[in-house]
Amino acid sequence: MTNVYIQGIGMTKFGKFVDQSMKSLLLEASIQALEDAGNPKVDAVFVGNFMGGSISNQEILGAIVANELGLGYVPTAKVEGACASGGIALRQGIMGILSGEYDTVLVAGVEKMKHASTADVTQAINAAMDTDSNEKQAGLTFPGFFGVLANRYFYETEATKEHLAMIAMKNRENALNNPLAQFRKPTTMEEIMEARIITSPLGLFDCSPTTDGAAALIISRKKGGVHIRASAQSSGPTQMQDAADLLSLPAVRESGRLAYEKAGVSPDDIDVVEIHDCFSMTEMLAIEELGFFNKREGWLAIEQGQTKVTGGKPVNTSGGLLSRGHPIGATGIAQIYHLVQQLRGTAPNQVEGARLALAQNLGGTGSYSTVHILERL
């Protein structure tokens, strides 16, 4: 349990914004969050961001926010943990409050990716693998990694490519109702199944896109808003060859276990979930690792529609990374944005009576995972 509460949320539309800079997106989301919280005095700023240095030649995002928003001398930092940068930034904000150093913290996440070439973005993303490893040197990529996992999953279970397509389809449908989502075009199962292959068996719709966008939160020790009931983070193997079980993401499992323990709740108590579906296959593994379904049985739950908005365990009602979009550093914060909407009762695809929500943010090939459990007061 923490004594930290979410008082304000902000988020830009996710998509391609050629006329916006990383800074302008970051400020837009931050100003929204500040206004939503009633413009409190802010004591510190944490920004989650992954590839600002490499493809936008822009670091010092913390100081830029503090200066542009006139926050004064407040301490700030950028936090990086690959695609979990947002979730980890939130965790630093929470610890800043728990430490007694800060009362109110602005936590934001941002990424600007659409201006760069696919080759440059792919190269930048590969910084989330160990450069000294033979895997990276041999040319492993992220679609390659999760493609291998999908093939192994098919081998060990009765799941097929159609089950992955059902995940992609569900998140696609959820995004239709989310005005901030990147993809809001109706899509059919046929389109998903027949889309060009990125890494077999993963097709285009099984892979999250590149995205511009930002999201922000105001968290505070002042009681009110949405309660952060637990914050947990774990590390896992940085290399595929170090995985004891290819169908396990130990960091996800362990961060989930810790979060449940800290919150004093079980997977059954969770009403609505945002999971890091960088690939459809990642959502499949994560719903198992977080204990919502038995290991190697996630595909059955998918088949039964249990993770749909109307199912017993709604997952990625925002559209997820697959359809809301995946501006890397912003993703972990955008998950919280959407869950706060769910707990306020104002979300697209609202889950009636949602009281407990869980967000899980992944980095690298399972190198980082954060889990936050939120509670309606």
Sign for the CA dihedral angle at 201, 203, 206, 210 comes to positive
Nearer to its own copies, 231 or 342 (CB): 231
Instruction: Name the minimum Å distance from CB 182 to its own copies.
Output: 24
Nearer to its own copies, 67 or 304 (CB): 67
For 335-352, give the secondary structure using H, E and C.
HHHHHHHHHHCCCCCCCC
Q: Which residue has the tokens 């046929």?
A: 190
Residue 240 half-sphere exposure toward CB, CA atoms < 13 A = 19
Active site residues: 83, 326
**Closest of 46, 40, 48, 61 to residue 103, by C-alpha:** 40
Nearer to its own copies, 95 or 246 (CB): 95
324: helix, strand or coil: helix
Instruction: Name the minimum Å distance from CB 298 to its own copies.
Output: 22
Q: Which residue has the tokens 């696919």?
A: 118
User: Is the CB of residue 275 less than 8 Å from the CB of residue 284?
Assistant: no
At 186, list the tokens: 């109706």
Instruction: Name the minimum Å distance from CB 175 to its own copies.
Output: 28
Instruction: Name the minimum Å distance from CB 259 to its own copies.
Output: 12
User: Is the CB of residue 65 less than 8 Å from the CB of residue 72?
Assistant: no
Nearer to its own copies, 14 or 50 (CB): 50
Nearer to its own copies, 211 or 233 (CB): 233
298: helix, strand or coil: helix
Write out the residues near its own copies by the rule CB under 8 A: 21-24, 50-54, 56-60, 62-64, 66-67, 71-82, 88, 91-92, 94-96, 98-101, 123-124, 126-132, 233-239, 242, 250-251, 254-255, 363-364, 367-368
Instruction: Name the minimum Å distance from CB 117 to its own copies.
Output: 15
The CA dihedral of 71, 2, 315, 145, to the nearest 10 degrees, is: 80
